[in-house]
Amino acid sequence: MATDPALDAHEHSEHAEHAAHERDPFIANVSITIAVLAVVAAAAGSLESMEGDKAITASAEAVLRQDQATDSWTEYEADSLKRHLYTIASNAGGAHADDYKKAVQDNGKKQDKVRDEAKDKEAERDSLIKESGAHERRHDWLTGSATITEIGIAISTVAIITRRRIAWYGAVGLGAIGLALLGWAYFG
């Protein structure tokens, strides 16, 4: 959403101030509704942006963890090849056979550590993917909330122009739906 919540709130307060000068209770009530809906829309829009940013950040971190896991698995495979070469060399005997047997044991310990690191990075990646998904779901609900609420604001303006209560009731209903979607994003 590419609107500026502060600018929108200022515009709506100007409309409310203008309506207050008319001293029409219906216009005043609709103007108050517009102000409330503007606050809900601004809150949903700000939270939507934050959740989108968090989703992108968690997703990028997941990619980084996958790269780190891949590096660890590559190191594990390289150590595995060295271990096999040392095993062949130690089985062949010779003056350094004992050194090669020790290298096989050391390499085995190192491989265990590297394998555990790779699995840890994969677990972190999986957690970050879930986190990113949760932020993205909230972002989607908040987008709906902001959109529905802004439609309510537009319909409130129509209610002022046409002086029709049904339009105002519709706007209040849309505002309630927008508020419900905002709540659903975090508690649903």
Residue 35, domain member (yes or no): yes
Residue 179, domain member (yes or no): yes
Q: Which of 166, 160, 181, 179 is nearest to 39 (CA)?
A: 179
Task: Give the pLDDT confidence score for residue 111 in this predicted structure.
Answer: 93
Task: Give the pLDDT confidence score for residue 24 in this predicted structure.
Answer: 86
Number of domains in the chain: 1
Residue 5, domain member (yes or no): no
Q: Which of 137, 134, 136, 153 is nearest to 5 (CA)?
A: 153
Residue 50, domain member (yes or no): no
Which tokens hold the place of 126? Answer: 């999986």
As to burial, measured by CB atoms within 10 angstroms (0-12 exposed, 13-18 middle, 19+ buried), residue 185 is buried
Task: Give the pLDDT confidence score for residue 92 in this predicted structure.
Answer: 86
Residue 6, domain member (yes or no): no
Question: Cα–Cα distance between 142 and 49 in angstroms, integer?
Answer: 9
3: left (phi over 0), alpha (psi -120 to 50) or beta: beta
Residue 90, domain member (yes or no): yes
Task: Give the pLDDT confidence score for residue 15 in this predicted structure.
Answer: 62
Task: Give the pLDDT confidence score for residue 20 in this predicted structure.
Answer: 57
Residue 99, domain member (yes or no): yes
Mean pLDDT split into 10-residue runs, the chain, 188 residues: 61 62 85 96 96 97 97 94 88 85 89 95 97 97 97 96 96 97 93
pTM of the complete model beyond 0.85: no
C-beta atoms surrounding 31 within 10 Å: 23
Task: Give the pLDDT confidence score for residue 123 in this predicted structure.
Answer: 97
Residue 34, domain member (yes or no): yes
Task: Give the pLDDT confidence score for residue 120 in this predicted structure.
Answer: 97
Tell me which residue range forms the domain holding 182: 22-44+67-187
